[in-house]
Amino acid sequence: MIQFFYFVIAFVAVLTLHEFAHAWAANYLGDPTAKFNGRVSLNPFRHLDPMGTLLLIFVGLGWGKPVPIDPRNFEKPIRDSSIVAFAGPFANLVLAFAASVPYKYFYGSTGALGQFGDLAGAVFQLSIMLFAFNLLPFPPLDGSKVLWVFIPAKYQMQYQRFLMEGWKYFLIFVLIDNFFLQDMFGFSVIWWVISYVYAAVSTGILMVS
């Protein structure tokens, strides 16, 4: 129960910073939509999705409310949309760096320092997991919009259609990955990628912290 409590606190902190970063970046780049909707805030209740929160409590997997953005307000819509998309995962990476120090030096200790280290460990691990997962290049994940800026001009129209409709194909891929590959063969492509990125990033952070 204590570990689950740490997980819930870490999830709220990681998710709040992630969505706040999206909103702040969009407002900074000229789109006030998120600000008008009260999303440029570190108040968790402005970012938590009711269904995502309930699933977090009962299933262990949840999500937050998407930040509303209007690319027409940006000076360069494609470039700025990619920056806004990357802002969320980048904020999680920064949070992972911040949590790495107490995690590295206090995790496994006794007393209050040990509890602080345990909480920092949950924040550290979840921050990197969310960073890795959100950078997968499939809609509606942030990675698909980060990739947008690298798409050649002649393919922009096709890629915009992919951004609007690609979530259907990603959902099918997730279902196949979970119910066919993982259940039948014990292998998940998604979790293999996330685990690889997690191992590389976490090792790098802990080496320099």
- Taking only the tens place, the pLDDT of each residue in 171-205 is 888 788 877 777 777 788 888 898 999 999 999 99
- In tens, the pLDDT along 74-118 reads 999 999 999 999 999 999 999 999 999 999 999 888 888 999 999
pLDDT band, residue 59 (cuts 50/70/90): low
CB 147 within 8 A of CB 163: no
- Give me the residue spans of the domains in the chain: 2-208
State the burial class of residue 69 (Cβ atoms within 10 Å of its Cβ: 0-12, 13-18, 19+).
Answer: buried
CB 34 within 8 A of CB 25: no
The C-alpha angle with vertex 131 and arms to 130 and 134, in degrees rounded to 5, equals: 75
- In tens, the pLDDT along 106-144 reads 988 888 899 999 999 999 999 999 999 899 999 989 999
pLDDT band, residue 58 (cuts 50/70/90): low
Catalytic residue numbers? 19
What average pLDDT does the chain have?
A: 90
The pLDDT of residue 64: 82
**Over residues 21-47, mean pLDDT:** 97
